[in-house]
Amino acid sequence: MLLPTHFIAGLIIGKLTGNYPASLIGSMAIDLDHVISYFKHGILFKPKKLAVAMMERRDPRGDHRFLHNVFSWAAISILVLILDKGIGLIFGFAYLAHLVLDALNNADLFPLFPINKINLRKPIIKYFSIQELIFTSFLLLVFFIL
């Protein structure tokens, strides 16, 4: 899913829990692995190459998914839980929401990554599509209704 979808999911979780910072960080910070990959491959400050890379459903560089798996989710969520139970639960739930949203469009091989030779299914929502725009609009509507 694209960043706005993750942002809106974080807003929904923040509204439900009363903790916007923990939910927004949990739902969006996971994509820092994209930024690190873009920097590592020298495209972070090249707008045309960066735009192309951001629209790719799969990672042709093969290295930006180290935070997009259940192993990282469990380890980081447990660490945050140890530091603060309330924040840790919200953060962990928002992080899991990020993984589930990405799994809907099969951008990640959740939950089997890093065993990336296995593709379990076809995407439910196509990446960077009208379907995703409608889904994101639906999430935004949910946020305003809550």
How do residues 72-115 score in pLDDT, each as one tens digit? 999 999 999 999 999 999 999 999 999 888 888 866 555 555 55
Over range 21-50, report the average pLDDT.
89
* CA dihedral of 119, 106, 52, 7, whole degrees rounded to 10: -150
pLDDT of 103: 80
Q: What is the pTM of this model?
A: 0.86
Token pair 């995703």 is at which residue?
132
* 72 or 34: which leads in pLDDT: 72
Gap between the Cα atoms of 52 and 83, Å rounded: 38
